[in-house]
């Protein structure tokens, strides 16, 4: 009589643990909810461990109980990994804020440096270039390359001048 009562209790705990393990594994894959899957996973581990120990004494079938234990351990591991992924994403969010601040600083610098007339002139030059891109051939590609190299050198000189002015202004402030 004792063996039958223990068997039904163990099988009931095993089934409950298996169901909780399935719930936990499904919840563990949902972002931000996966962390909450730890609770049913832990309960499932406890239920299936108790059921497994009770069935081991009486040498009963325990396939469902072992499956519940394995699934609950996997769900628990996935839930733990959700915590680490969340931490990594929060660190990435901080870096995105820095990148946005840098972009705003560049935009502010460009707004301070270039007037509306400069921007309109640049837009006109870009429109002219768009029409000329279609007429590029091998003959004039070399000439275009030299012109681009010359423009790059001039731009580099301007950047160096701006850097010197910036360096001088910051050393004067100190």
18, 25 in Cβ contact below 8 A? no
Q: Check whether 103 has a pLDDT greater than 80.
A: no
> What's the pLDDT band for 19 if we cut at 50, 70, 90?
very high
Which DSSP symbol is given to 134?
T
pLDDT digits 0-9 by tens, 35-90: 788 889 999 999 999 988 888 776 677 788 889 999 999 999 988 888 788 777 77
Q: Check whether 17 has a pLDDT greater than 80.
A: yes
Highest mean pLDDT among 88-92, 96-100, 119-123, 151-155: 151-155
- Name the token pair of 1: 């009589």
pLDDT score recorded for residue 1? 45
pLDDT score recorded for residue 46? 92
Which DSSP symbol is given to 34?
G
Please list, in sequence order, all residues whose beta carbon lies within 8 angstroms of the beta carbon of residue 8, skipping any fewer than 6 positions away.
none
Which DSSP symbol is given to 115?
-
Distance between CA atoms of 41 and 58, rounded to whole angstroms? 26
């Amino acid at each position: 009589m004792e063996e039958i009562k223990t068997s039904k209790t163990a099988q009931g705990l095993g089934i409950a643990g298996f169901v909780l393990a399935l719930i936990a594994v499904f919840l563990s894959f949902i972002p931000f909810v996966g962390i909450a899957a730890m609770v049913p996973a832990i309960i499932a581990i406890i239920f299936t461990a108790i059921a497994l120990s009770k069935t081991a004494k009486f040498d009963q079938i325990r396939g469902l109980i072992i499956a519940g234990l394995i699934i609950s351990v996997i769900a628990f591991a996935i839930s733990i990994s959700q915590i680490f992924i969340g931490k990594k994403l929060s660190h990435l969010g901080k870096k995105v804020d820095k990148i946005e601040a840098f972009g705003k600083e560049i935009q502010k610098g460009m707004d301070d440096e270039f007037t509306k007339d400069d921007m309109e002139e640049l837009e006109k030059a870009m429109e002219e270039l768009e029409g000329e891109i279609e007429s590029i051939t091998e003959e004039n590609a070399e000439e275009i390359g030299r012109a681009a190299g010359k423009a790059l050198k001039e731009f580099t000189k301007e950047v160096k001048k701006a850097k010197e002015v910036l360096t001088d202004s910051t050393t004067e402030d100190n």
